[in-house]
Amino acid sequence: MTQTPSKRPVFRPLPGLAIPYHPRTLWVTQIALIASLALVLMTLLTGAFAISPLGVWSVITGQSQDSVADLVVLGLRLPRIIACLFIGAALGISGGIFQALARNPLASPDIVGFTAGAGTGVLVLMLVEGTAIGISLSFGAILGGFATALAVYLLALRPGVLSAGPAARRAWPAADSGRHWRRGNAVGF
């Protein structure tokens, strides 16, 4: 590890590849991984059917003679754990993408209205269809979310403005006034 001029540590796994990082990020990541592993172990070991740590290990390695323990660990608990880890990762990634696209670290779909739009899509489909069937409700939520996304996009659209970058500030000077206000400068209002 070497230091860049900005005093941030850099990890160099290969020649010509430098990955800057923040030490606090490493600590938070390590704590989150340890907490996740503790929760995985707790989930594997606890429940209505108690299994010892040695019993769980024998089931995972395939040396168990207990078919009920095999069913509980491999059929119920382990798939639930794997699904939770992947779904949590997918939600985290999608939230990061949403915040990057909105260029706002506090952005979330419920603030913008996508959640309410998806719920409205479900309600409209229930009123039109007259029944509540699982797959059609999902379809209504997707349509409602897309309709809300389109409405938000159309309401935010300004002539000649595609993003909040430098070109947008030249085309629409009021877009830059918030930046001055956040710095405590009233110039530009």
pLDDT tens string 19-35: 888 889 889 999 999 99
Q: What is the mean pLDDT of the chain?
A: 81
Nearest-angstrom CA–CA distance, 13 and 16: 9
pLDDT in tens, 34-89: 999 999 999 999 999 989 999 999 999 999 999 999 999 999 999 999 999 999 99
Q: Would you say 118 and 144 are in contact if contact means Cβ atoms under 8 Å apart?
A: yes
Angle made by CA atoms 90, 91, 93, in degrees to the nearest 5: 65
User: Could you tell me which of 142, 136, 147, 151 has the C-alpha nearest to residue 128?
Assistant: 136
- Helix H, strand E, coil C: the string for 11-74 is EEEECCEEEECCHHHHHHHHHHHHHHHHHHHHHHHCCCCCCCHHHHHHHHHCCCCCHHHHHHHH
Nearest-angstrom CA–CA distance, 62 and 70: 9
Number of C-beta neighbours around residue 38 at 10 A: 10
Nearest-angstrom CA–CA distance, 27 and 24: 5
What pLDDT was estimated at residue 6?
61
What pLDDT was estimated at residue 21?
85
Question: Which conformational region is residue 7 in: left (phi greater than 0), alpha (psi within -120 to 50 degrees), or beta?
Answer: left
Nearest-angstrom CA–CA distance, 56 and 80: 15
Does residue 179 have a pLDDT over 60?
Answer: no
**60 or 187, which is more confident?**
60
The phi, psi pair for 9, rounded to 5°, reads -65, 150
**109 or 124, which is more confident?**
124
